């Protein structure tokens, strides 16, 4: 049974098709993330992988037809900056915005909430890319605590806090989120 996320499977098809047509593939994402490693496999592991807006575009790429895709959990603004950098250097670029719409909505909602509260709690695995992005986004607006489980919450996390927000990574099990909510409620009362 193929359990590949449909959003990721779509990227595989884009990359495979354009690689066979002679395009140089650029993946915007973390080269060590399993999703990016998998995407790269669809172009014989020949993609250029960029995860820094300051990255210099290799001179060899400038003369090639380029196909750009994104790791599904990449921040949209970050993706846009890298795309603009590539377009300045490369002669011909096809851009496929392959950022997961659910991830994008979750990031927007977390940012909106973080701007309104005194502290955010982000729930999710330490190795989860999308949870890490949520933590980064929330941290720009208010003090933010990242926990994997309710056991990591401490009373000090809530000292002097009038309003508190919570968000969770896409792969965080509902039972963990409920446990964190219950523990937060117990601590606060």
Catalytic center residues: 35
For the record, the structure tokens of 187 come out as 């601590």
Query: Rounded CA gap, 48 and 28, in Å?
Result: 9
Asked if 67 contacts 25 with a C-beta cutoff of 8 angstroms, the reply is yes
Query: Rounded CA gap, 114 and 167, in Å?
Result: 9
Alpha carbons within 13 angstroms on the beta-carbon side of residue 72 total 23
Q: CB neighbours (10 Å) of residue 174?
A: 8
**Residue among 39, 57, 172 nearest 106 (CA):** 172
3-state helix, strand, coil in the chain (%, to 5): 45, 15, 35
Query: Rounded CA gap, 189 and 173, in Å?
Result: 25
């Amino acid at each position: 049974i193929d359990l590949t996320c449909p959003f990721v499977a779509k990227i595989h098809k884009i990359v495979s098709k354009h690689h066979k047509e002679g395009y140089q593939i650029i993946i915007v994402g973390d080269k060590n993330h399993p999703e990016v490693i998998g995407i790269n496999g669809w172009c014989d592991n020949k993609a250029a992988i960029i995860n820094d807006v300051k990255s210099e575009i290799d001179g060899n790429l400038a003369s090639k037809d380029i196909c750009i895709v994104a790791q599904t959990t990449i921040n949209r603004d970050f993706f846009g900056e890298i795309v603009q950098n590539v377009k300045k250097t490369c002669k011909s670029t096809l851009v496929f915005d392959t950022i997961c719409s659910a991830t994008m909505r979750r990031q927007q909602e977390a940012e909106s909430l973080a701007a309104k509260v005194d502290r955010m709690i982000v729930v999710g695995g330490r190795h989860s890319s999308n949870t890490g992005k949520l933590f980064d986004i929330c941290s720009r607006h208010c003090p933010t605590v990242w926990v994997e489980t309710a056991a990591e919450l401490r009373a000090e996390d809530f000292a002097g806090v009038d309003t508190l927000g919570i968000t969770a990574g896409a792969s965080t099990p509902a039972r963990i989120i409920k446990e964190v909510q219950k523990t937060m409620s117990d601590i606060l009362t």
